């Protein structure tokens, strides 16, 4: 069993830049593409994700230290450390249930496609770690592998159904036709869509609008995404107590993120469209005129400037929330740089309105802080069992991404009732 787990872990360690091209190549062959064309599609998507993750690294490597600077300046002392998604995923894959998740997840997805209970063919295998974490949490409180796997399947079903529901928005707002997003962390914030709809009915508030297009009309060239990135990045640097040079440096980095990310997503779609068209043709011949979505990493939604703008504003907001919310014990750190991933659906529902996105994002981040605090004991227990090296001086650990994941929290609480 351990040998199989090691093989699975070795495959996943290759990352999305290897896994996705292989998956897209195989899908292209399945849908009748010639090997050369299928290989080109997979290679193009691989190149795009290399670019996307280079830009994400630029974002993370600049936001992480800035967030730490803000925390230090505020003198925050909280006893639960947000270790971020990389640590969360490694803890998840160290569980005894990990070996079952990828084959089980693929089987469940195929069954749902065949029974027409989903339209999403999820090739984002790397992010199956969210299902693994769900299974590991339930296993930690129940000692039952079966219960853990059932919990993982429930989590996956919710992710696929929400992906189907939000796919039209992903197509229209993010200009990603044929794509859906089933990433577990992004799915957790889908209830924010209802809050956005509620804001649009509140007098006065519904008229508060600041989308990138409106900002650009009002401020001219200084309203372009490149200048917004520069301004927001520099503001975060100032809040972190950076020197003038460091403020300029982080401002330039965020301006680069704003400009480069849409370019990378455009390359991604260049590789994906031939596969999507082949899939539709293949399915229409066998099942009639049936719509199918290809499930991709939420990183594809980061190409819209409103997503990055909202996330950059929410970084200091989240740090302040951690300080002022009564009952919160989580010190946000590791997952502050993943905020763009979790707010994507909120921004899409708000049609790029940064004001509404920040308001709803603030409410959802507050909820995440409380949930992450609540599951910290079992999160810490899982880390200890996985021989995870605890951060120095921390009594407990958790994360915004998965510890503060609404779907994960609800399923975990249901299973806790029986254990």
The pLDDT tens digits of the residues spanning 211-232 come to 666 655 554 555 566 777 788 7
CA dihedral 279, 281, 284, 290 (to 10 degrees): 50
Q: Alpha-carbon distance 291 to 167, whole Å?
A: 11
Distance CA 62, CA 249 (A): 9
Q: Which residues pair with 330 in a beta bridge?
A: 80
User: Comparing 283 with 407, which gets the higher pLDDT?
Assistant: 407
Question: What pLDDT does 35 receive?
Answer: 84
Residue-level pLDDT at 415: 94
* Identity of the highest mean pLDDT range in 91-95, 116-120, 236-240: 116-120
The percentage of the chain sitting over the pLDDT mark of 70, rounded to a whole number, equals 89
Task: Give the mean pLDDT of 66-94.
Answer: 78
**pLDDT(371) > 90:** yes
| Three-state DSSP state, 289 | coil
Burial class (CB in 10 A: 0-12, 13-18, 19+), 76: middle
Q: Which structural domain range is residue 100 located in?
A: 1-417
CB 149 within 8 A of CB 178: no
**Confidence at residue 411, expressed as pLDDT on a 0 to 100 scale:** 95
| Residues 6+ away with beta carbon under 8 Å from 157 | 108, 112
pLDDT grade, residue 401 (50/70/90)? confident
**Is residue 41 exposed (0-12), middle (13-18) or buried (19+ Cβ within 10 Å)?**
buried
What pLDDT score does 362 carry? 93
Highest mean pLDDT among 2-11, 195-204, 260-269, 358-367: 358-367
Q: Could you give the C-alpha distances from 163 to 68, 171, 288, in angstroms and in order?
A: 33, 12, 22
CA separation for the pair 347, 356 (Å, rounded): 8
| Half-sphere exposure at residue 286, Cβ-oriented, CA atoms within 13 angstroms | 10
The whole-angstrom distance between residue 50's C-alpha and the CA centroid of its chain comes to 17
Tokens at 256, concatenated:
């680069």
Residue 284 has pLDDT above 80, yes or no: no
pTM value is 0.82
For the chain, the domain total comes to 1
- Predicted local distance difference test score (pLDDT) of residue 2: 54
CA distance 146 to 415: 12
pLDDT bin (cut points 50, 70, 90) of residue 108 is very high
What would the pLDDT profile of 137-184 be if each residue is shown by its tens digit? 999 898 899 999 999 999 999 999 999 999 999 999 888 888 899 988
Q: Apex CA 343: angle with CA 340 and CA 345, to 5°?
A: 125
């Amino acid at each position: 069993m351990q040998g199989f787990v090691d093989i699975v872990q070795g495959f996943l360690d290759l990352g999305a830049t290897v896994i996705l091209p292989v998956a897209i190549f195989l899908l292209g062959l399945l849908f009748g593409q010639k090997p050369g064309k299928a290989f080109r599609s997979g290679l193009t998507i691989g190149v795009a994700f290399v670019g996307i993750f280079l830009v994400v690294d630029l974002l993370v490597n600049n936001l992480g230290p800035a967030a730490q600077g803000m925390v230090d300046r505020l003198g925050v002392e909280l006893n639960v450390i947000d270790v971020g998604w990389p640590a969360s995923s490694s803890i998840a894959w160290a569980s005894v249930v990990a070996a079952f998740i990828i084959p089980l997840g693929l089987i469940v997805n195929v069954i749902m496609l065949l029974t027409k209970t989903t339209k999403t063919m999820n090739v984002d295998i790397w992010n199956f770690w969210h299902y693994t974490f769900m299974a590991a949490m339930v296993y930690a409180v129940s000692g039952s592998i079966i219960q853990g796997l059932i919990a993982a399947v429930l989590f996956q079903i919710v992710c696929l159904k929400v992906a189907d529901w939000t796919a039209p928005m992903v197509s229209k707002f993010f200009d990603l036709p044929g794509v859906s997003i089933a990433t577990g962390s992004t799915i957790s914030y889908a209830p924010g869509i209802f809050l956005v709809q509620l804001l649009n009915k509140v007098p006065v508030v519904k008229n508060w609008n600041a989308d990138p297009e409106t900002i650009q009309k009002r401020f001219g060239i200084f309203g372009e995404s490149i200048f917004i990135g520069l301004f927001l990045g520099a503001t975060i640097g100032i809040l972190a107590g950076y020197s003038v040079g460091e403020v300029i440096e982080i401002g330039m980095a965020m301006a680069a993120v704003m400009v480069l990310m849409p370019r990378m997503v455009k390359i991604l779609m260049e590789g994906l469209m031939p596969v999507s068209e082949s899939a539709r043709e293949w399915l229409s011949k066998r099942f009639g005129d049936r719509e199918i979505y290809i499930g991709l990493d939420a990183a594809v939604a980061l190409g819209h400037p409103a997503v990055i703008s909202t996330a950059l504003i929410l970084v200091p907001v989240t740090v302040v929330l951690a300080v002022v919310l009564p009952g919160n014990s989580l010190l946000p750190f590791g997952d502050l740089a993943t905020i763009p991933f979790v707010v994507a659906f909120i921004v899409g529902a708000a049609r790029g309105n940064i004001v509404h996105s920040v308001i709803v994002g603030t409410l959802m981040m507050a909820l995440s802080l409380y949930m992450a605090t609540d599951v910290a004991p079992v999160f810490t227990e899982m880390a200890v069992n996985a021989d995870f090296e605890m951060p120095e001086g921390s009594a407990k650990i958790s994360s915004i991404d998965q510890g503060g994941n609404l779907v994960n929290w609800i399923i975990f609480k249901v299973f806790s009732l029986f254990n």
